[in-house]
Structure 1
Amino acid sequence: MTTPRSTGLPTATPRRRPGSITLSLVGFLFLVELASGILQGYYVPLISDIVTHLGIHDADFNWFEAGQLLLSAATVPLLAKLGDMLGHKRMLLISIAVTALASWALVLAQDFTTFLIAWSLQGVAAVWLPLEVALIFDRGRRTGTAAAATRRSAGLLVVALEVGAIAGALGGGRLFAALGEQVPPTLGAPAIVVSLVFFAVLFGVPESEPLAGRRLDGGGFALLALSLVLVTSGLTFLRLNGPGAWWVWACIAAGVLLLVPWGRLELKHPDPAIDLRTLGRRSMWPIQLTAGLFGISVLGAQVPLSTYAGTDPANGYGLGLDAGDRSIVIGIYLVALIVGASVFAALSRVIRPRTMLLIAALLVALGYLLFVPFHLTLAEVLTNMVIAGLGSGALVAALPSAAAAAAPRGQTGVATGLTNTTKTIGGSFASSVFGVVLVTGAGMSAASLGGYLTVWIVCGAGALAAFGALLLVPRSAFSDSEPGSDPDGDAAAEPIVAPPEPHAPAV
């Protein structure tokens, strides 16, 4: 019997390359973002009932939002950096566990203080998407297709986020009614969802490969966190107390001034909390600036749009929609976000990332600036919101993936996390300023038309400014390139991490 001669052709299905981005990886992270969206949408229709349950005033709910905002602003950069150092999966699990415990605490909370602490702790969920993008990028880095695969995956994750938000908003009120309008058991649903995704990540997501020899810049993170807390709390108090409170401006100024000693410390540290030299690269700073400017519209303009839709047309403007119709309008906007993220994921194969970002920024600018001449009919408002929503959906997906592609190895998590932080600061600034603008010149029951026009012009101008910043990005940025290449033209795309000093503890 003779041995068959080899034909040179494969006789079995080739194995997947190590480090390839699999459908299962994206699928498990899809579930995490679905849970994140449910958290964002579920509580909205229950706010009035939660206020009654706790025996507080409607205005007191602002403190819950402020606490969550402050905690997320202070913790996202730190958690993202720890992901770069210790593993992105590990920090994702820790942040999910904290969010799950906080969600269960909301079920048991019977007083304002306990609810405030638990609600604030849910703010660590803001780091989920940056860590997920970093996980995907790290997984694909070894195959040479990390940037392209991350863009496609990020679009799908944003779709999950928005679908979850819609499902949460629709399900919260209905489950409340089905459970006999009892608040505690109703709040158990998101806690169960978050608890389940913990195990999905634990058993379904592989760990990233952090660089060895890293050290935590504790002093840098402490100063940065203090600066962010002062700025964001000042902006929150500006919205609550108005521009006449001098201490509000002192708080904001103190936070900004703290960035001076922080910057000096970071430039001297061998492994800084935020690498300012990397942040200054032509492929990075426009992304972070765009995230901040984008926050003006995606976070700051939603309340003004909702109140405008509910304003009585007898004032000469407004749509006069009731709560149910307003929720439909917001739902259409969210669907536009989903379509924008999906289109971004689909077209990322054939269109340069920089071009996609420019188109998305222009759509946001066009959508909001169209409000200035066209805002009197429902058809006009919906058209404008859909245009802005398409661009917003693409930007939500594109910004963290672009930051990941522009970051050197070992800084992927913190770069993507910064897009969330700057977006949050931009949204906080816009919410505070818009709150003051809409009150100025307002009538007995409605804000002035001039206030709304100002909101839309600021949102449109911010998007145009982002477009201008993105024009400065090199054409080849955010694309997969040969190892060692640098679209900025700068030296050393990989970070130079100093080895630990003798006898110095290394994390």
Structure 2
Amino acid sequence: MTRTRTLGTLAVVVGFLAFVEFTSGVLQGYYTPMLTDIARHLGIHDADVNWLEGAQLMLSALVVPAFAKLGDMVGHKRMLLISTAVTAAAALVLPFTDSFPVFLAAWALMGFYVVWLPLEIALIWSRSRRMEGRSSITAKAAGLLVAALEGGAIIGALVGGALIDVLPLTIVLLIPAVLIVVCFFVILFGVKESPDPTGGIFDTIGLVLISLALLCFTGGLSLLRLEGGLTNPWSWAVVILGVLLVIPFVLWELRCADPLIDVRMFRSPALGPVFLTAGLFGVSVLGAQAPLSTFARTDPTVYGYGLGTSGFATSLIIGVYLIAMITGALLFSTVARWATPRLTLMGASVLVGIGFLLFLPFHDTYAQVITNMVVVGLGSGALVAALPAAAASAAPATQTGVATGLTNSVKTVGGAIASCVFGIALLHGVASTAGATEGTAGSLAGYFTVWIVCGVTALVAAVILVFVPKTAFTDRTAEAEVAPAL
């Protein structure tokens, strides 16, 4: 009776959190079919759409470590509310500006929503602390949350693609902002705080050090995308400086009694490969979104490639892809029980790699693109659900939020790097491809680069996961939770 009541209470929490992830999905799917329209509205090139994605990923990389740690310290619900409030404020700016710098800043601030899923997984993990089969419960909940996320993305993509063809852009951009405001009150009144926050003193020095490192690194990547950036030594110097600034951060974290990020987790035979897989996965799941949308919208009668789809037809491609992601997310816990979580992660990575490499010979028709995206979606959905759940089950008990947050942080960094590389690749050769300097479509060679990089990085992730212990990501005893082996 007690177990049933406890599971029922947790199910209610998961239900409200599912609405939060539904909102997150709407944000991720709604804007994608209209990226070309946004580019024309702001007077920018298709390749410059990657600036929006890159700026949001850069801010996300800064936000997640801090909010994940604060979630463990002061409560995951509290940090959910703060991040939702910031996201709502930023979304309300987008409909009322045609200035690219203002739009870029607001779009970047919307990146606060990326902390929702890791905070939710950590909250579920903490509330299921005394339940039998905790890892399985968390995995199932993660699958349901990701299914809600992708369901929201499907609805968002379909609605966004349909509305952009019939309504002014200002009205279209206002709709998701209203939904985020509703989401804030759902969290406020429907979600209970996680029990037993760890407390402690926030590692401000660690936050400053990692923020400087990430700002320099991602800022340097942005400089590389400017005209002449690849040949400018200062651009490369800023990137290298960002990498070097990680060293003092690591040294400080090793000395700190309550670090922002316990860097020793990266030495864990279970957690290390998960973090690396998350980074490689970020290349495709985050970096390839804008290129796939703009490729579908490119007119083949003008440029000789692309599908020439309307906003709604593009949203249908995205919808099928997201249905495949839902299927992969829901199948994750079942397949993991039948095989192991480790083998499931490996299989999902292989699917993503195969799906993107299929674009190389098959990209000329609508049916070919949809088929490729179904394969990619099955693997991607499983990985989105599996990575934070795997991190939670393998992390120290006091670092659950940090570990789940790190999967998003590292994934975001991978996406930021990919966004820069893909933006440069798509911009290269545009004038010659279009036959005129005013061409706005990306180059075909650039799209080939996107598909190859996404496919190869996914396959590399599958190889890395071979070295994870076979019993990783399964339930631990209470004693093992207190002092995990790192």
| TM-score (norm: length of structure 1) | 0.85
1:151 counterpart letter in structure 2: A
Alpha-carbon shift at residue 75 of structure 1 (Å): 1.1
Query: Is this contact kept in 2: 1:311–1:317, CA < 8 A?
Result: no
Match of 2:433 among 444, 462, 465: 444
> 1:469 matched to which residue of 2?
464
> 2:239 matched to which residue of 1?
252
Stretches of structure 2 lacking an aligned partner (at least 5 in a row): 435-440
Query: Is this contact kept in 2: 1:145–1:480, CA < 8 A?
Result: yes
SS at match of 2:339: coil
> 1:7 matched to which residue of 2?
none
Alpha-carbon shift at residue 227 of structure 1 (Å): 0.8
Alpha-carbon shift at residue 133 of structure 1 (Å): 0.7
> 2:230 matched to which residue of 1?
243
2:472 counterpart letter in structure 1: A
SS at match of 2:82: helix
- Measure, in 1, the Cα distance between the counterparts of 2:485 and 2:187: 28
1:493 counterpart letter in structure 2: P
The alpha-carbon distance between structure 1 residues 72 and 143, as it changes in their structure 2 partners (threshold 3 A), is same
> 1:136 matched to which residue of 2?
124
The alpha-carbon distance between structure 1 residues 408 and 31, as it changes in their structure 2 partners (threshold 3 A), is same
More displaced stretch, 464-473 vs 337-346 = 337-346
- Measure, in 1, the Cα distance between the counterparts of 2:7 and 2:255: 35
Query: Is this contact kept in 1: 2:16–2:191, CA < 8 A?
Result: yes
Query: Is this contact kept in 1: 2:157–2:318, CA < 8 A?
Result: no
The percent identity for this pair of structures is 51
Query: Is this contact kept in 2: 1:441–1:448, CA < 8 A?
Result: yes
Query: Is this contact kept in 1: 2:33–2:315, CA < 8 A?
Result: no
Alpha-carbon shift at residue 175 of structure 1 (Å): 4.9
1:444 counterpart letter in structure 2: T
1:361 matches 2:349:
yes
1:266 counterpart letter in structure 2: E
Match of 1:118 among 101, 106, 123: 106
1:219 matches 2:208:
no
1:143 counterpart letter in structure 2: M
The alpha-carbon distance between structure 1 residues 249 and 368, as it changes in their structure 2 partners (threshold 3 A), is same
Match of 1:205 among 191, 203, 207: 191
Number of residues paired by the alignment? 476
> 1:292 matched to which residue of 2?
279
> 1:3 matched to which residue of 2?
none
SS at match of 1:271: coil
For 1:59-458, what aligned pairs fall within 5 Å after superposition?
63-107=51-95, 114-172=102-160, 174-175=162-163, 181=168, 183=170, 185-212=171-198, 214-241=200-227, 242-310=229-297, 318-324=305-311, 325-440=313-428, 443-445=432-434, 450-458=445-453
1:476 counterpart letter in structure 2: T
Alpha-carbon shift at residue 67 of structure 1 (Å): 3.5
SS at match of 2:73: helix
1:42-77 CA distances to partner (integer Å, 9 max, x unpaired)?
Answer: 334455665677x65457765544432322111111
Alpha-carbon shift at residue 394 of structure 1 (Å): 0.6
Alpha-carbon shift at residue 321 of structure 1 (Å): 3.2
The alpha-carbon distance between structure 1 residues 235 and 20, as it changes in their structure 2 partners (threshold 3 A), is farther
| TM-score (norm: length of structure 2) | 0.88
> 2:479 matched to which residue of 1?
484
Looking at both structures, which has the greater relative contact order when contacts are Cα pairs under 8 Å and sequence separation is at least 6?
Answer: 2
Alpha-carbon shift at residue 270 of structure 1 (Å): 1.1
Query: Is this contact kept in 1: 2:198–2:398, CA < 8 A?
Result: no
- Measure, in 1, the Cα distance between the counterparts of 2:3 and 2:390: 29
SS at match of 1:194: helix
Query: Is this contact kept in 1: 2:59–2:109, CA < 8 A?
Result: yes
Alpha-carbon shift at residue 151 of structure 1 (Å): 1.0
Higher gyration radius (CA): 1
SS at match of 1:209: coil
- Measure, in 2, the Cα distance between the counterparts of 1:308 and 1:105: 28
